[in-house]
Chains A and B, each alone.
Chain A
Amino acid sequence: MSPRLRSSELVGQLRTMIRIRRFEEALIQLSESQDVGHFHVYVGQEATGVPALALLQPGDVAYSTHRNHGHLIARGVDPARMMAEILGKATGTNKGKGGTLHLASNEHGFPTTSSSVGGPLPIAVGSGYAFRELGLDRVSVCLFGDGALEEGAWHEAINIAAVWSLPVIFLCENNSLEALGQKANEYPSSTLAAQRLTDLVRPFKVPATAIDGADVRAVHREMGRAVRRARRGAGPTFIEAWTVRWAGSRPIWPQLVTGETDVAYAWDDTAIPPDHAEWFGRQDGLLRYVRDLLAAGRVTRADVVAIDREARAEMAAAVRFALDSPYPAPEEALEDMYA
């Protein structure tokens, strides 16, 4: 484990990861009983977003994508208000005007979320530019999927960040590793001619690394370097975090095809459903992290079970809050247009 992190921080990250998992599972379950519209879940990518965003300070900003739920929870946004937003309720983070695609919480460093592929990249660069110009010791993180590299916006954005040496971190969550192109009724994967995504970055003279996104320690290490580079004015960094796409995120509409995650899978192989042995046994970054912490003696099984119980209760309450919340008043449709 990272020597610089105290046990409480390690356990705190574990708690956040479990909370994200339970949030997304609760949402998928809710979608089975009622129409919540189209959405995307962060299951299987918690080990990237949580340690990466844990390194940010208040005032740093992050720009996310359509797959944003995990990022917001990682920085402390209230899941109940997120769930309410996803259901279009007045109590939602965006008062029902953003929905799952645009969840934003300015006070937590998510000024706005774009669901346009590649859309947030130039904007994140702009925040980096503002920080540099305002003399603020802040960092702007841009989170995006591998598909964004197919957009010209990406190229324009990283070029400007590089030539102006801005405090921007490009964190690419590549969940298309095992696939190229789309299979029937599944999400597309990136179609890029480059051998490695990082190859596309090198001409800009921006440091670029590719890491295992399910390895909390690796994410923490590379993100730490990137944040330090940015804060000392040394310019942008590009990190590609590889993740295996969770089976439930392959269909266009997320499904709990693996069933709920049982944290006991981390220590009891026999409980793992045979159809998903590879996923729960080796790929799932959340369970890998539980095993690491158990092996390092940072937590006990009882701790994990207790954290999980709290997370489940919290998300059940979040769903209730969202369901019980009122819809916005009709006339609110015309509000928030102009300051």
Chain B
Amino acid sequence: MTATSPPAESAARQMSYAEALVLGLRRALESDDRVRLMGQYFVGLTEHRQLVADLRDDFPQRVWYPPISEIGYVGAGIGAAISGLRPIVDIATASFIFQAFSQVVNEAANVRYMTGGQTSVPAIFHVNHGIRGGGAAQHSHSPQAMIWNTPGLQIMLPSTPRDVYGLLRTALESEDPVFWADHVKLFDVTGPVMAQDWEAIPFGVADIKRAGVDVTIVATSYMVQRSLAAAELMAADGVSVEVIDPRTLVPLDLDAILASVHRTGRLVVVDECHRSCGVGSEISALVAEYAFDALKCPIRRVTALDVPIPFSPALEAFVEPSEAKICAAVRAAMGSV
């Protein structure tokens, strides 16, 4: 496939992540009468916003723009799911989830368990996460690590147009709540999507985004893209990097990660969460425990630094996990054999 190839029957089409995402939402609305969109910032304030506006024009009764009442409308999404709808609730910028945290982690996550399995909450909670450029401390969060410490929610972190499209279908068909985070910088990423069909990508199946033999990188969301770019640079240096994208943290395909580490003996975890108690911490800890003997060198973590995200572009660039930092970690892993 090339970017210029025209759309064809049952052929992959090149499209942006934002288009694939909104196409997924459209398929959801078309395929299931119970689906409602609650929110309007699925692709943030990017130039792709019009795509969501178009959806609302096409489904005026099923796309709702709630007030700035996160605790109110997120809770309403839970109740709606309990009572038979399939709400896809957009919390917009991930930092705002803290306004609704009690509903997401205390209510949605617990309902099935607390009721001994009687009641389901088939709701999807969507956020735009990550360091976006000038978002500063209150618009740059990646809350997935905190959510991961909260049993009861499934966590979906797509990294490509194809994945967001396919994972959304699985999320929609799940009887349990899903936390779905898109990185703001993914919206412009393009890639092939089998747009004619809407094939589900199962949860808990990691995807080897690039095969390699020297070092394993585990990354999620936009960090997959960064890692692929870094892997490309490393290939020029003769280092063969494998990039594994778990795609969902709950359920987690630990076997795929362990298998790759057994092949390469080296692991770099790339994660845009803060370092302390981040997603990278858990993945490192799991591999350190279950692949202890396979490791030829210490596991390295490339994460956002442990500071609130600063506003200034100069500081922001320093905080985030960059290609250069990933390459440095890979080199260090190779050098320490």
Which of chain A's residues have a CB closer than 8 A to the CB of B36?
A: 129, 133
Chain A, Cβ-Cβ closest to B113? A336
Q: B67 to A160, Cβ gap below 8 A?
A: yes
- Residues in chain A near residue B176, CB distance under 8 A: 338-339
**A125 interface residue (CB < 8 Å to B):** yes
Given A130-B79, A140-B79, A339-B120, is A122 in contact with B71 using a C-beta cutoff of 8 Å? yes
Docked complex: A308-339 residues within 8 A CB-CB of B:
335-339
Provide the residues of chain B in CB contact with A285, threshold 8 Å: none
- A300 proximal to B (CB < 8 A): no
B83 at the interface (CB under 8 A from A): yes
- B residues less than 8 Å from A336 (CB atoms): 112-113, 115-117
Is there an interface contact between A133 and B85, defined as CB atoms closer than 8 Å?
Answer: yes
B 21-38 contacts with A by CB, 8 A: 34, 36
Min CB distance, B117 to chain A, in Å? 4
* B-chain residues with CB within 8 Å of residue A159 when the two chains form the complex: 67, 69, 72
B114–A157 touching, CB < 8 Å: no
Instruction: Write the nearest CB–CB distance from A121 to chain B, whole angstroms.
Output: 7
Known: A111-B83, A338-B176. A94 touches B111 (CB 8 A): no
**Smallest CB–CB gap between B31 and chain A, Å?**
16
A residues in contact with B77, CB < 8 Å:
126
| Nearest CB of chain A from residue B277's CB, rounded to whole Å | 22
Q: Is the CB of A97 within 8 A of B83?
A: no
Chain A 75-96 residues near chain B, CB threshold 8 A: 92-96
A residues near B309, Cβ cutoff 8 Å: none
Q: How far is the CA of A55 from the CA of B81 in the complex (A)?
A: 24
Count chain B residues whose beta carbon lies closer than 8 angstroms to a beta carbon of A.
Answer: 44
A121-B75, A157-B72 given; A126·B114 CB < 8 A: no
The reply to whether B115 and A111 contact each other, CB–CB distance below 8 Å, is yes
**Which of A96, A98, A140 has the most C-beta atoms of chain B within 10 angstroms of its own C-beta?**
A98
B70 to chain A, nearest CB (A): 8
Does B84 belong to the interface (CB within 8 Å)?
yes
* 0/1 interface trace, chain A 114-128, chain B, CB 8 Å (1 if under): 101001011111111
* A122 CB contacts on chain B under 8 angstroms: 71-76, 78-79, 103
Q: Which residues of A contact B64 (CB under 8 A)?
A: 164
A106 contacts the other chain (CB 8 A): yes
Contact residue among B34, B76, B116, B154 (Cβ-Cβ distance under 8 Å from A134): B34
In the complex, what residues of B have CB within 8 A of residue A339's CB?
112, 120, 174-176
Task: Say whether B118 faces chain A, with CB atoms less than 8 Å apart.
Answer: yes
Please report the C-alpha to C-alpha distance between residue A300 and residue B114 in the assembled complex, in whole angstroms.
43
CA separation between A93 and B78, bound complex, in Å? 21
Measured between beta carbons, the chain A residues less than 8 angstroms from B83 are 61, 111, 126-127, 130-131, 134, 138, 140
User: At the interface, yes or no: B50 with Cβ under 8 Å from chain A?
Assistant: no
Q: B112 contacts A157, CB within 8 Å?
A: no
A140–B116 CA distance with the chains assembled, in angstroms: 22
Asked if B106 is at the interface (CB within 8 A of a chain A CB), the reply is: yes
B82 within 8 A of A: yes
Shortest C-beta distance, B253 to chain A (Å), equals: 16
Q: Bound state CA distance, A171 and B34, in angstroms?
A: 28
Q: B34-52 CB contact bits vs A (8 Å, 1 = yes)?
A: 1010000000000000000
Q: Is the C-beta of A261 less than 8 angstroms from some C-beta in chain B?
A: no
What is the bound-complex CA distance between A124 and B82, given in angstroms?
10
Which of B62, B72, B119 makes the CB contact (< 8 A) with A160? B72
Known: A134-B84, A156-B69. 8 other contacts (CB 8 A): A119-B75, A123-B103, A130-B83, A156-B71, A159-B69, A160-B66, A160-B73, A337-B113
- The interface of chain A, by Cβ under 8 A from chain B, is 61, 63, 92-98, 102, 104-107, 111-114, 116, 119, 121-131, 133-134, 136, 138, 140, 152-153, 155-157, 159-160, 163-164, 335-339
Q: Could you pull out 20 A-B pairs where Cβ atoms are within 8 angstroms?
A: A93-B116, A94-B115, A95-B116, A97-B115, A107-B118, A113-B114, A122-B73, A122-B74, A122-B75, A125-B79, A126-B87, A127-B83, A129-B36, A129-B85, A130-B83, A156-B72, A157-B75, A160-B67, A336-B115, A337-B152
